[in-house]
């Protein structure tokens, strides 16, 4: 592992779409955010909709008629890749907090093993990363600079700033404060869902924007009266909305995996690769880059998109910054396809 420690024969879950061409030069690697699985789009093997269903597919912006698309479930996650919820082969027990400190460099390096070791791809056409995945993607580009030609960063950053660190640290504290977490040794039949629900709600508050909610909910009252347990909860529509979001998520994600991946997001800093941000950017060997950011994003604010674009353009003249005026904040790349589709289409069409 990048910091310390070792994993014995880790597993990495991935999915692919399209065909790798004989020259092996049409591969696109996707790094998703903190919570999704590798299932970015439906396929013959799994017909259920993926988390980027409208972006990846035949005739779609990331066109599987042209590209061989690989999506990996981050190391440390709980959807097939080895993580804190996996069994440690040395002990026969789940890793839980004995899992080594996870970094996004580890996430990148494990994806490299799939790309290079498994598929024998020496150079990816493009690495695409969204949110935390943009930092994983940047880690890939800086550590495996010869293995990638183009980079698309979506609503991400060169490193976390204190507002985002504070939010994520508080989300972790919410889970850790739940007595059911039991210092990581929670009962699998009775996980710390109260803490997870709080963390998910805070997540949603930072994934969306105040402007969207003002338009969408205003001061509308909740119609879901069953939820009104006492005088302090779910009087307003926005409260019921968060309640529904939290109910869907908690239980679906292992709390320890969440802690590790959230912490890895805080730790990532391109400046660790060379001693400064400028030195980190200098290690990139990109032919083309696209940085997309959203003006209402409070978690990965637009200033950080500008910093990324400026830094990458110092070593890659064909760098484009797209500042989108989407209203739905950080999550826009998942929900505002009308804004993202043309920008990503244009990028892939312009590739030499």
> Active-site positions?
131, 297, 330
By the rule CB under 8 A, 108 interacts with a copy of itself: no
By the rule CB under 8 A, 230 interacts with a copy of itself: yes
By the rule CB under 8 A, 160 interacts with a copy of itself: yes
By DSSP bridging, strand 56-57 and strand 62-63 are parallel
**Cα separation of 342 and 233, whole Å?**
41
Q: 305 and 333 in contact (C-beta within 8 Å)?
A: no
CB atoms within 10 A of CB 183: 8
**Cα separation of 167 and 262, whole Å?**
10
Q: Which two tokens mark 9? A: 């024969």
Residue selected from 20, 114, 194, 228 as contacting a copy of itself according to rule CB under 8 A: 194
Q: 27 and 121 in contact (C-beta within 8 Å)?
A: yes
Task: Give which of 59, 123, 80, 132 is closest to 102, Cα–Cα.
Answer: 132
By the rule CB under 8 A, 238 interacts with a copy of itself: yes
Look up tokens 């239980």; give the residue. 251
Look up tokens 């999550």; give the residue. 331
Nearer to a copy of itself, 101 or 345 (CB): 101
By the rule CB under 8 A, 70 interacts with a copy of itself: no
Q: Which stretch binds a copy of itself (CB under 8 A): 47-55, 81-89, 206-214, 278-286?
A: 206-214
Residue selected from 87, 166, 278, 279 as contacting a copy of itself according to rule CB under 8 A: 166
Residue selected from 24, 216, 227, 341 as contacting a copy of itself according to rule CB under 8 A: 216
Q: How far is the CB of 52 from a copy of itself (least distance, A)?
A: 26
Q: Which stretch binds a copy of itself (CB under 8 A): 45-53, 69-77, 176-184, 286-294?
A: 176-184
Between residue 266 and residue 325, which ones bind a copy of itself under the rule CB under 8 A? 266-267, 269, 298, 301
DSSP state of 80: S
CB atoms within 10 A of CB 102: 28
Q: 343 and 311 in contact (C-beta within 8 Å)?
A: no
By the rule CB under 8 A, 167 interacts with a copy of itself: yes
By the rule CB under 8 A, 34 interacts with a copy of itself: no
Q: Is the dihedral of CA 119, 56, 127, 335 positive or negative?
A: negative
By the rule CB under 8 A, 56 interacts with a copy of itself: no
CA distances for 43 relative to 22, 52, 68, angstroms: 22, 12, 13
DSSP state of 114: I
Q: Which stretch binds a copy of itself (CB under 8 A): 11-19, 55-63, 166-174, 336-344?
A: 166-174
3-state secondary structure (DSSP) of residue 29: strand
By the rule CB under 8 A, 185 interacts with a copy of itself: no
Residue selected from 120, 179, 189, 275 as contacting a copy of itself according to rule CB under 8 A: 179
Binding stretches for a copy of itself (CB under 8 A): 97, 101, 159-167, 169-170, 172-174, 176-179, 183, 194-195, 197-198, 201-202, 204-205, 209-210, 213-214, 216-219, 230-239, 242, 259, 263, 266-267, 269, 298, 301
């Amino acid at each position: 592992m990048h910091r310390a420690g070792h994993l014995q024969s880790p597993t990495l879950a991935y999915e692919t779409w399209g065909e790798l061409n004989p020259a092996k030069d049409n591969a696109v690697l996707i790094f998703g955010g903190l919570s999704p699985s590798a299932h970015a789009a439906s396929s013959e093997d799994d017909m259920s909709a993926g988390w980027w269903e409208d972006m990846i597919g035949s005739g779609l912006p990331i066109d599987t008629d042209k590209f061989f698309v690989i999506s990996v479930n981050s190391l440390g996650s709980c959807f097939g890749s080895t993580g804190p919820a996996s069994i440690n082969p040395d002990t026969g027990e789940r890793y839980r907090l004995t899992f080594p400190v996870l970094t996004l460099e580890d996430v990148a390096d494990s994806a490299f093993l799939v790309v290079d070791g498994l598929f024998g791809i020496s150079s990816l056409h493009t690495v695409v990363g969204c949110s935390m995945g943009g930092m994983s993607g940047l880690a890939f580009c800086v550590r495996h600079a010869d293995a990638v030609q183009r980079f698309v960063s979506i609503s991400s950053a060169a490193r976390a700033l204190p507002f985002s660190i504070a939010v994520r640290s508080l989300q972790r504290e919410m889970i850790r404060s739940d007595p059911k977490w039991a210092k990581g040794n929670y009962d699998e039949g009775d996980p710390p869902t109260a803490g997870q629900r709080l963390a998910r709600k805070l997540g949603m508050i930072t994934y969306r924007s105040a402007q969207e909610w003002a338009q969408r909910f205003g001061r509308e009252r909740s119609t879901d009266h069953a939820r009104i347990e006492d005088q302090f909860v779910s009087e307003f529509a926005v409260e019921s909305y968060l309640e529904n979001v939290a109910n869907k998520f908690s239980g679906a994600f292992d709390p320890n995996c969440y802690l590790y991946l959230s912490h890895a997001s805080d730790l990532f800093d391109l400046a660790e690769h060379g001693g400064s941000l400028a030195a980190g950017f200098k290690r990139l060997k990109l032919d083309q880059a696209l940085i997309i950011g959203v003006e209402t994003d409070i978690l990965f604010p637009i200033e950080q998109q500008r910093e990324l674009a400026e830094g990458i353009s110092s070593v890659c003249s064909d760098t484009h910054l797209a500042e989108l005026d989407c209203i739905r904040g950080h999550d826009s790349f998942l929900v505002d396809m009308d804004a993202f589709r043309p920008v990503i289409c244009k990028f892939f069409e312009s590739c030499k």
